[in-house]
């Protein structure tokens, strides 16, 4: 995973956790849901980048 992509996914995860917490504090279910969605998107982005790294490593090992 490139450093830029890793930072973007981590920032999105932090943003999602913050939004979810704000939704919890304020009782806003939409904020909570949007925060959870951002966290899921960040997790997916990390997974995609991990797969890319494994494919690149496998191609170098050939």
Low-confidence stretches of the chain (pLDDT < 70) are: 1
Q: What is the pLDDT of residues 39-53, one digit of tens each?
A: 999 999 999 999 998
State the Cα–Cα distance between residues 15 and 54, nearest whole angstrom.
27
Q: What pLDDT is recorded for position 62?
A: 82
- E strands, the chain, are none
Model's pTM, two decimal places?
0.84
CA-angle at 7, arms to 26 and 18, nearest 5°:
5
**Tell me, what's the pLDDT at 2?**
80
How far apart, in whole angstroms, are the C-alpha atoms of residue 41 and residue 57? 24
> Residue 50: left (phi > 0), alpha (psi -120 to 50), or beta?
alpha
């Amino acid at each position: 995973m490139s450093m830029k992509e890793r930072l973007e996914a981590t920032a999105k995860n932090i943003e999602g956790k913050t939004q979810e917490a704000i939704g919890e504090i304020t009782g806003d279910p939409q904020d909570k849901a949007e925060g959870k969605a951002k966290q899921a998107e960040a997790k997916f982005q990390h997974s995609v980048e991990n797969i890319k790294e494994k494919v690149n490593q496998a191609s170098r090992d050939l």
